[in-house]
């Protein structure tokens, strides 16, 4: 975090500073990181005691102090010998502090902000942008999927006085949440990747999802840029909701930043990218899955708008071979067996894309195995979407389907009812059972995909299979 006095932090957070028993004054300067996780605290850091659904961060304040926290942001005074800023709501205070830090760094005149949202691809696109922009200047981007009301402001608070780029991943589970993050850090470039059924159950339907994602562009200014997916009919109307200049990306002719001559293979996708003005370049993109080309195009569009030469953008993209751990992560290798661990999260769109990639990279004469778990948070769409994935697996000719867990069982039943298989779909209750089934039946040259929502826990099964076949 930028250097602030205790008095400044208290004012920004809207709190009351308490110094009883602390060896500090209101003018004491704090430069440490800000976190809600006491396990991450280091000397001089700021601990925010967050109340959660199942726990209360105030319980971990003593541990934070033991680890070196220099100040606590709390909702009531604790009997601890460090400065404490008492606020009405610690999450609101965290957001308010982030807003002030962004404002101060903005005033220095160097910072430019890219906001990324969409039902799929946020983390991959954010990582691609970081890979490009950190070659240009000091860049801050979220760790993992730090994209909610806690993770996004924590990322913003990593800004330093010399930061040139902030890549803010902005997720939501309801209307108004992205707007809240935009008020903390309004982007110069706002990206909307795709609107799909991911989290549709939480949003209350696809219309609410569209409304929520639209918040990325509705508050942009005329001098800003909205980078929109020209191939998504739910994103296209957002052009009419923004004052910003629109730049389209996609695979079709209407896109200004577009990919053509795609060739997918087991180590990524090669394609030709065209940008506004007609400049082209061939890209050897090492992130597995043709669907990730759209994320790369969004990163290209934003980077070029920020003034990065296309050749430099392509060079940076070609150095990226993994979007993120547990996202189309290649593992294994023994006996030519490849494990694709893509079980960090799953929606109907990403599940379909992963299965299509599995079919695309299959070598002649080899087999494909899809180990699939639940797609969570789909609400009323859950049954029909699991049915659709089961049918897709059959129609793609996946050699073996292993469905894990009761919540995904309908996927297995749909595959059987399609009538194209005779025993090639198996259902098991647990990841351990899936491990035993796959390892017992695997053959040299097999390609194994592991895919589910995070809540299903199959990412650890993917790791286990990857180590087994290493």
Residue numbering of the annotated binding site for ATP:
118-124
Q: Contact, 157 vs 34, CB < 8 A?
A: yes
Distances 427 to 31, 340, 412, 422, 438 between C-alpha atoms, Å: 53, 20, 6, 13, 12
Q: Give the residues across from 147 on adjacent strands.
A: none
- Strand pairing of 16-18 and 84-86? antiparallel
* Neighbour-count burial of 401, counting CB atoms closer than 10 A to its CB (0-12 exposed, 13-18 middle, 19+ buried): buried
Where are the alpha helices (H) located in 224-367, listed in sequence order?
292-305, 310-317, 348-360
Cα 253 versus chain centre, distance: 28
Per this entry, what is the length of the chain? 470
Q: Give the residues across from 190 on adjacent strands.
A: 115, 226
Q: Contact, 94 vs 36, CB < 8 A?
A: yes
Q: What is the token pair recorded at 121?
A: 């691809």
Q: What is the DSSP letter of 278?
A: S
Distances 240 to 139, 172, 218, 223, 256 between C-alpha atoms, Å: 31, 22, 9, 16, 17
Q: Contact, 276 vs 225, CB < 8 A?
A: no
Residues annotated within a binding site: 118-124
- Strand pairing of 368-372 and 400-404? parallel
Place of tokens 């809600």: 36
Is residue 184 classed as helix, strand or coil in its secondary structure?
Answer: helix
């Amino acid at each position: 975090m930028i250097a602030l006095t205790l008095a400044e932090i208290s004012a920004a957070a809207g709190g009351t500073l308490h110094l009883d028993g602390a060896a500090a004054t209101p003018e004491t300067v704090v430069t440490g990181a800000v976190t809600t996780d006491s396990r991450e605290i280091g000397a001089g850091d700021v601990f925010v005691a967050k109340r959660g659904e199942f726990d209360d961060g105030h319980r971990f304040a003593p541990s934070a102090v033991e680890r070196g926290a220099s100040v606590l942001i709390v909702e009531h005074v604790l009997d601890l010998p460090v400065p404490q800023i008492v606020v009405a709501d610690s999450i609101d205070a965290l957001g308010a502090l982030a807003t002030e830090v962004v404002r101060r760094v903005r005033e220095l005149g160097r910072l430019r902000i890219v906001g990324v949202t969409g039902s799929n691809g946020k983390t991959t696109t954010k990582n691609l942008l970081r890979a490009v922009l950190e070659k240009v200047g000091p860049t801050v981007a979220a760790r993992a999927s730090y994209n909610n009301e806690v993770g996004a402001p924590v990322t913003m608070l990593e800004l330093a006085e010399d930061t040139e780029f902030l890549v803010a991943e902005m997720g939501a589970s309801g209307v108004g949440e992205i707007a809240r993050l935009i008020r903390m850090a309004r982007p110069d470039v706002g990206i909307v990747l795709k609107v799909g059924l991911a989290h549709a159950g939480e949003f209350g339907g696809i219309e609410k999802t569209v409304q929520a994602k639209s918040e990325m562009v509705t508050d942009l200014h005329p001098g800003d840029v909205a980078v929109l997916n020209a191939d998504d009919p739910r994103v296209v109307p957002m052009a009419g909701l923004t004052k910003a200049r629109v730049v389209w990306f996609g695979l079709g002719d209407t896109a200004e930043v577009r990919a053509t001559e795609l060739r997918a293979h087991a180590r990524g996708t090669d394609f030709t990218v065209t940008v506004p003005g007609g400049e082209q370049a061939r890209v050897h993109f090492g992130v597995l899955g043709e669907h990730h080309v759209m994320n790369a195009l969004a990163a290209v569009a934003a980077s070029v708008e920020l003034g990065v030469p296309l050749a430099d953008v392509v060079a940076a993209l070609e150095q990226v071979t993994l979007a993120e751990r547990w996202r189309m992560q290649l593992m294994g290798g023994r006996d030519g067996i490849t494990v694709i661990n893509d079980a960090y999260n799953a929606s109907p769109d990403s599940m379909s894309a992963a299965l299509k990639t599995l079919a695309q990279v299959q070598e002649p004469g080899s087999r494909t195995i899809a180990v699939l778990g639940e797609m969570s948070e789909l609400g009323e769409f859950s049954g029909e979407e699991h049915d659709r994935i089961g049918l897709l697996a059959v129609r793609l000719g996946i050699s073996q389907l292993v469905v894990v867990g009761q919540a995904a069982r309908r996927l297995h039943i749909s595959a059987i009812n399609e009538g194209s298989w005779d025993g090639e779909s198996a259902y098991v209750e647990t990841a351990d059972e899936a491990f035993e089934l796959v390892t017992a039946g695997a053959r040299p040259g097999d390609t194994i995909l592991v895919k589910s929502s995070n809540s299903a826990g199959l990412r650890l099964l993917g790791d286990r299979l990857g180590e087994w076949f290493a």
